[in-house]
Amino acid sequence: MASLTSLLILANTLGAQLPQARTSGFNTGSTCYEVFVRSFHDSDGDGIGDINGLIQKLDYINDGGRSQKSDLGARCIWLMPIAESPSYHGYDVTDYYRVEPDYGTNADFKRLVAEAHRRDIKVLVDLVLNHASSEHPFFKEALRDPRSAHRDWFLWSVSKPAVKGPWSQDVWHRSPVRDEYYYGLFWGGMPDLNYKNAAVREEAKKVARFWLREMGVDGFRVDAIPYLVEQDGKLMHSPGTHAVLREFATYVRTIAPGSFTIGEVWDSTSAMLPYYPDQLDAHFAFDVSNAIIEAVRTGSGKKLLEPAMQLQRALPANRWAPFLRNHDQTRTMTELSGNIPRAKIAATILLTLPGVPFVYYGEEIGMSGNKPDERLRTPMQWNPDRSAGFTRGSAWQPLQPDSATANVKTQEGDSGSLLNLYRRLIHLRAENSALARGTLVPLTASNDAVAAYLRRDGNRAVLIVNNLGASALSGVTISSAAGALPAGRYAVREIWGRRPAGRLTVGADGRLRNYVPAPTLAPMQSYLLELPAPAR
């Protein structure tokens, strides 16, 4: 069995060999949709969402091109944990090889994958590697018998260490069986796995192989990766953690070259960057998320683009994932105090930045939600009926108070709704090469309430102008550094409607100088302007 030291030596060697980007499993311009199966759609009336219910709603996510863009257009779904677990959330797994019975069977899941693939939807599942459930048979065995073969799969101490966790929580928990303690970073019901043990690393590979080959998934969202290895007093971001991720990622690449892995590093961009180039394919861009929400909430674009620019300077665009909010965070609409125009600007910014964007279910209809976690993960609101079209029975969690208005059916018939904006933007992103893969070019506006930038793919470019303020603005000018665009005269037109939007002249140095995108910018309004190849 390899020691951790030998793993680190191997990791340093691999770091020089593995490619910078390996995301061939994704189409350029793809958007991913995060789904909590328990809350998406209930097919059998027991009040709990299930896999068959999700299958029934796949056409909402992507119908495979059968409609005229009345679907959301996402080409990827990330399913929060679906393995067997004693909890509602599933992040404490008792059987990594069995679908949670509340959701259905392994056969149901295979049918879901087949139906998703038929619609050009890739399927990612949440893979919880850092810890297992305290109800997992291996942990229960290790508790009972110190001589168990699984004893060294977990971390033990005869006395309680004084160390606290990253948010000052207790991480050592008293055994219910004898006078000793075990390590569980998140809580006592989730004992951490010991990745210094080669058998644990091999089991993680075995689980990955099962889901990739037996169940047919296209990849993983890997939970809580900074905490995999505790080493030399470091509870997060340790050298051992990076080594384990390199070994795991190399294995996944070997058995499933077209797969996609994305990790949760809930930290700053600087803390995230050491997880490249040779670990997981991508990681979530929390700083970009925070910058979008803060800019839209405060009405100032001064700090909006720097996190995205930092990532663009360091990484290919398909190796990081912007988002607005996820299952652990206050929902966007609640953060923005129910302001729909601001939510529309936030969506526009998210879906016009580089990266692989992720959208949490219900964000596209403006669902509200705040802590505790259960209230961030409430049932999807399909219609204004008593149970919001989620179930024929009594929902596992009460609906949000806004379910009568923030629902799919109500918004589908409104061309100006938040839902229809998401649909247009996601489809546009997939079709427009500048938005799908173009370089982000920051622009300078004469008013701090305006955030403006270009996405440029060769000679094709889209200009995005956002008035984040609550007042109309007249005469706002846009300028750039040298090399922003090829020289020439551009006949600018709106993305939607194709109406002319004036002319733009770019000099030989490639600068935009005091361009006025519109005589007046409406309050809390975004403008998407297409710049066809210039006339010389």
**Residue 355 region by backbone torsions, left for phi larger than 0, else alpha for psi between -120 and 50, else beta:** left
Are residue 124 and residue 266 in the same domain, yes or no? yes
φ, ψ (nearest 5 deg) of residue 378: -75, 165
**What b/e string do you get for 349-372 counting C-beta neighbours within 10 Å, with b at 16 or more?**
bbbbbbbbbbbbbbbbbbbbbeee
Asked, for residue 189, whether it belongs to a domain, the answer is no
pLDDT digits 0-9 by tens, 395-419 = 999 999 999 999 999 999 999 999 9
Q: Report how many domains make up the chain.
A: 3
In angstroms, how far is CA 314 from the centroid of its own chain? Answer: 19
How sure is the predictor about 222, in pLDDT bands with cuts at 50, 70 and 90?
A: very high
Residue whose tokens read 């091999």: 202
Query: Greater confidence, 261 or 68?
Result: 261
Average pLDDT over all residues of the chain: 93
Query: Do 173 and 201 fall into the same domain?
Result: no
Q: Shortest CA distance to 261 belongs to which of 435, 18, 476?
A: 18
Shared domain for 400 and 445, answered yes or no, is no
Beta strands in 417-499 (DSSP E): 439-442, 444-445, 450-457, 460-467, 473-474, 478-479, 488-494
CA dihedral 178, 179, 181, 182 (to 10 degrees): -10
377 with 440, same domain?
no
DSSP 183-251: E-SS-TTSPBB-TTSHHHHHHHHHHHHIIIIIS---EEEETTGGGS--BTTBSSS-HHHHHHHHHHHHH
What was the pLDDT predicted at 1? 35
- pTM attached to this predicted model: 0.94
Output the CA torsion 188→191→192→196 (10° steps): 140
Q: Is the same domain home to 211 and 235?
A: yes
Say if 497 falls within a structural domain. Answer: yes
Count of CB atoms situated within 10 Å of the CB of 430: 17
3-state SS record for 94-110:
CEEEEECCCCCCHHHHH
What is the set of active-site residues?
Answer: 223, 264
From CA 481, how far away is CA 444, in angstroms rounded? 9
How confident is the model over 300-343, as pLDDT tens digits?
999 999 999 999 999 999 999 999 999 999 999 999 999 999 99
So what's the pLDDT on residue 2? Answer: 42
Q: Give the pLDDT score at 297.
A: 97
* 201 in the same domain as 76: yes
484 lies in some domain = yes
Angstrom CA distances, 112 to 27, 56, 366, stand at 20, 10, 26
The per-residue pLDDT for 536 is 66
Residue 190 lies in a domain: no
390, part of any domain:
yes
210 pLDDT higher than 50:
yes
Distance CA 438, CA 497 (A): 22
For the chain, give the longest Cα–Cα distance: 82
The CA-based dihedral angle spanning residues 468, 471, 476, 481, taken in that order and rounded to the nearest 10 degrees: -20
Q: Which amino acid is residue 14, in one-letter code? A: L
Helix (H, G, I), strand (E, B) or coil at 284: strand
> Which of 431, 463, 497 corresponds to the end of one domain?
431
Output the six-digit token pair for 137. Answer: 């048979």
Instruction: Examine the domain organization and report whether 65 and 155 are in the same domain.
Output: no
Give the integer Cα–Cα distance in Å for 168 and 95.
30
Looking up tokens 């923030």 gives 406
Same domain, 249 and 121: yes
Whole-number Å distance between alpha carbons of 37 and 51: 7
pLDDT single digits (tens) 46-95: 999 999 999 999 999 999 988 777 999 999 999 999 999 999 999 999 99
**199 is a domain residue:** yes
Q: Hunting for tokens 């499993």 — which residue is that?
A: 25
Q: Are residues 406 and 460 in the same domain?
A: no
Look at residue 463 in the predicted model and tell me its pLDDT: 97
Among residues 244, 222, 226, 243, which one has the least CA distance to residue 235? 226
> In this structure, is residue 148 part of a structural domain?
yes
**Residue (of 284, 139, 308) closest to 222 by Cα position:** 284
CATH of the domain at 113: 3.20.20.80
For residues 163-184, give the mean pLDDT.
Answer: 96
* CATH number of the structural domain spanning residue 476: 2.60.40.1180
CB-based contacts of 398: which residues, under 8 Å, 6+ apart?
Answer: 378
pLDDT at 532: 87
Q: How do residues 447-479 score in pLDDT, each as one tens digit?
A: 999 999 999 998 899 999 999 999 999 999 999
87 shares a domain with 27: yes
- The identity of residue 305, as a single letter, is L
The predicted-structure confidence for 90-132, as pLDDT tens digits, reads as follows 999 999 999 999 999 999 999 999 999 999 999 999 999 999 9
Of 149, 183, 217, the last residue of a domain is: 183
Domain that holds residue 159: 137-183
- What is the model's pLDDT at position 496? 83
Give the model's confidence band at 26: pLDDT under 50 very low, under 70 low, under 90 confident, else very high.
low
Exposure string over 449-483, b if 16+ CB within 10 A, otherwise e: bbbbbbbbeeebbbbbbbbbbeeebeebbbebeee
Separation between Cα atoms, residue 478 and residue 469, nearest integer Å = 16
* More confident: 369 or 500: 369
C-alpha distance across the termini of the chain, in Å: 66
The Cα–Cα gap between 514 and 504 comes to 10
Picking from 402, 431, 460, the residue at the C-terminal end of a domain is 431
Are residue 338 and residue 465 in the same domain, yes or no? no
Q: Same domain for 439 and 423?
A: no
* Euclidean distance between CA atoms 522 and 392, whole angstroms: 43
- Is the CB of residue 353 less than 8 Å from the CB of residue 321? no
Length of the chain: 536
Coil, helix or strand at residue 274: helix
> What digits encode the pLDDT tens for the residues 418-457?
999 999 999 999 999 999 999 999 999 999 999 999 999 9
In a domain, 188, yes or no: no
513 Cβ contact partners less than 8 Å away, ≥ 6 residues apart? 479, 507
